[in-house]
């Protein structure tokens, strides 16, 4: 199996298992060593000592982009793809008959990246915490400012659900407020868009997690690019739309050339191209904004989606 595909499959597993990655870890003492892995509380982030009968098992632990592997092992790449700076984690012992609860606060590169991390898995119901939140099966996730917060009850019970939400509200109140979804997300044409499918990303392998494109980073995604991805459904037809803003028109032009060569078999223009058995693809660049339709089931849907992007704000005009 190709090495790139192996990595993509690993990330697909993350998308399904991110709710369980903390549950899978046995209780361990906090790692020893320097500040990056020591059992310490970050001075500007407060995790409560107790909540609803759950009490903290020692001080919080702080992890950096390297030591995070000792905590969540292979799943760390997803957080690193959003510019993770640190993770503050605390485990809480449950009362009799209840399992532990684990709270993780990830500081990411920017509020936009915190939003992106939040959109990585969009299952659940809104909980009214932070800028946006989701709650499902004892797992709460939300974002505020540059922070993505995950709180997991290792056994989902009526009592633990209440405590998860209570803990989330307490942590949200202690974090700086602010932050807006990236502007590029609002440029996805609304017609036929599945709102729950919207993602923000900067990394080629995160794109491949949601729709496989190529083993290579043909769109030249990088920390200084901004990309929005959405799924569109029209009857039984489906397509993905990717918008990417590059720092300048030179980078955007180079990315278009890369996509034409690496994905569209050298085809020019913006007419839909059938790519093997993957569907129809189409691409257009205006200024520093690239728009690409991916894996459309029909050429007409690909044409319509690409045409719809021309009425949105173009990245080069900002």
Taking only the tens place, the pLDDT of each residue in 67-116 is 999 998 777 999 999 999 999 999 999 999 999 999 999 999 999 999 99
Question: Does residue 299 or residue 30 have the better pLDDT?
Answer: 299
The set of residues, in sequence order, having a beta carbon less than 8 Å from that of 212 and lying 6+ positions away, is: 5, 8
pLDDT at position 75 is 79
pLDDT tens digits along 2-48: 444 333 334 333 333 443 343 334 333 333 333 333 334 455 788 99
Extended beta strands in 22-146, E state: 50-51, 54-56, 61-63, 86-93, 101-107, 132-136, 139-144
Confidence of residue 311 (pLDDT cuts 50, 70, 90): low
pLDDT at position 259 is 97
pLDDT at position 50 is 93
| Domain extent listing, the chain | 3-174, 183-317
Q: Long-range contacts: 166-169, Cβ < 8 Å, 24+?
A: 166/51, 166/52, 167/48, 167/51, 167/52, 167/54, 167/92, 167/101, 167/103, 168/127, 168/129, 168/130, 168/133, 168/140, 168/142, 169/129
Mean per-residue pLDDT for 128-156?
A: 97
pLDDT tens digits along 205-239: 999 999 999 999 999 999 999 999 999 999 999 99
pLDDT at position 18 is 40
Q: How far apart are CA 228 and CA 222, in angstroms?
A: 13
Q: Which strands, in side-by-side order, build the sheet including 273-274?
A: 199-201, 226-234, 237-245, 289-296, 280-286, 273-274
Question: Does residue 282 or residue 40 have the better pLDDT?
Answer: 282
The set of residues, in sequence order, having a beta carbon less than 8 Å from that of 129 and lying 6+ positions away, is: 140, 142, 165, 168, 169, 172
Mean per-residue pLDDT for 171-190?
A: 95
Task: Calculate the alpha carbon distances from 48 to 44, 91, 114, 142, 154 in Å.
Answer: 13, 10, 22, 17, 18
Nearest partner of 132 among 124, 141, 307, 123, judged by Cα:
141
pLDDT at position 43 is 56
pLDDT at position 46 is 82
Q: How far apart are CA 286 and CA 30, in angstroms?
A: 50
**Average pLDDT of the chain?**
86
CA 267 from centre of chain: 31
């Amino acid at each position: 199996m190709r090495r790139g595909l192996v990595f993509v499959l690993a990330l697909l597993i993350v998308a399904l298992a991110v709710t369980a990655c903390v549950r899978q870890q046995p209780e361990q003492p906090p790692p020893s060593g320097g500040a990056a892995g020591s059992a310490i509380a970050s001075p500007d982030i407060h995790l409560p000592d107790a909540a609803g009968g759950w009490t903290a098992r020692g001080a919080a632990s702080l992890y950096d982009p390297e030591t995070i592997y000792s905590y969540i092992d292979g799943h760390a790449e997803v957080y690193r793809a959003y510019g993770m700076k640190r993770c503050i984690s605390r485990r809480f012992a449950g009362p009799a008959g209840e399992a532990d609860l684990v709270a993780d606060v990830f500081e990411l590169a920017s509020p936009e990246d915190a939003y992106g991390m939040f959109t990585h898995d969009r299952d659940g119901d809104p909980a009214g915490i932070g800028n946006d939140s989701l709650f499902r099966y004892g797992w709460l996730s939300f974002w505020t400012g540059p922070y993505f917060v995950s709180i997991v009850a290792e056994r989902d019970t009526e009592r633990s659900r209440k405590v998860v939400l209570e803990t989330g509200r307490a942590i949200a109140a202690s974090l700086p407020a602010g932050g807006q979804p990236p502007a590029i997300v609002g440029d996805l044409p609304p017609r036929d868009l599945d709102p729950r499918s919207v993602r923000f990303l900067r990394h080629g392998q995160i794109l491949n997690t949601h729709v496989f494109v190529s083993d290579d980073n043909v769109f030249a995604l990088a920390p200084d690019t901004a990309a929005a991805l959405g799924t569109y459904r029209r009857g039984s037809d489906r397509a993905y739309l990717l918008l990417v803003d590059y720092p300048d028109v030179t980078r955007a032009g180079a990315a278009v050339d890369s996509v034409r060569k690496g994905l569209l078999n050298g085809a020019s223009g913006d007419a839909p191209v059938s790519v093997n058995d993957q569907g129809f693809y189409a691409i257009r660049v205006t200024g520093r904004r690239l728009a690409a339709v991916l894996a459309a089931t029909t050429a007409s849907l690909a044409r319509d989606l690409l045409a719809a992007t021309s009425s949105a704000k173009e990245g080069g005009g900002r």
